[in-house]
Copies of this chain bind each other. A is one copy, B any other.
Amino acid sequence: MQLEEIKSKFERFLRQKGYKITRGRFEIIDKIADYGPHFEIEELVRWIANQNRSIASRSTIYRTVRLLQEFGAIREVIKLGNRTIYEFTAGKPHHEHLICVQCGKIIEFYKEEIEELQDKVCEEHQFTPLNHRLEIFGICSHCKAKSHED
């Protein structure tokens, strides 16, 4: 999905909720898209603050991230210790993550069968799933190779 498409869908979302279309909100989307697929809020706050023209305060960024989660463009994908890593899903299909605990590298994957098995488990428990998150923590191939050098 194109960025412009997301923004116009977000605009519709805001209208439908009775919220206002402000420049700040859309500039934050641009910045998040620029930043890359994964970010932590404080990281984003500092990054935005360090740019020549500041577009939004810390509170507005926090509030907008919450709004974008509600809208569905952003997801909390990794919870590691006290850190939360968000993903700008931007219409990307659903997927899970491998996280290298050594270098922080994030690898995305999708396994249809895992999804199906989850649905099965939910059925067995008469549980209606809304969303899920699978995080696999470990060591990536690069870090493993590096540790063998010693």
Residues on A facing B (Cβ under 8 Å): 76, 79, 84, 98, 100-101, 107, 109, 111, 113-114, 117-118, 120-122, 124-141, 144
Q: Kindly provide the distance from the CB of A55 to the nearest chain B CB, expressed in whole angstroms.
A: 25
Across the interface, do B113 and A127 meet the contact criterion of CB distance under 8 Å?
no
Complex partner residue of A125 from B107, B113, B130, CB under 8 angstroms: B107
Query: Chain B residues near A129 (CB, 8 Å)?
Result: 98, 136-138
Known contacts A98-B125, A117-B117, A121-B98; A131 and B137 CB within 8 A of each other: yes
Q: Is the interface of A mostly helix, strand, loop or mixed?
A: strand
Across the interface, do A138 and B144 meet the contact criterion of CB distance under 8 Å?
no
Across the interface, do A127 and B141 meet the contact criterion of CB distance under 8 Å?
yes
Across the interface, do B126 and A144 meet the contact criterion of CB distance under 8 Å?
yes
Across the interface, do B137 and A125 meet the contact criterion of CB distance under 8 Å?
no
**Nearest-CB residue, chain B, relative to A142:** B126
Sorted from nearest, which 7 A-B pairs have the closest CB atoms? Answer: A79-B79, A126-B141, A129-B138, A132-B136, A128-B139, A130-B138, A134-B134
Query: Chain B residues near A138 (CB, 8 Å)?
Result: 122, 127-131
Across the interface, do B137 and A109 meet the contact criterion of CB distance under 8 Å?
no
**Nearest-CB residue, chain B, relative to A98:** B127
| Central interface residue in A76, A113, A114, A120, by most chain B CB within 10 Å | A114
Across the interface, do B141 and A137 meet the contact criterion of CB distance under 8 Å?
no
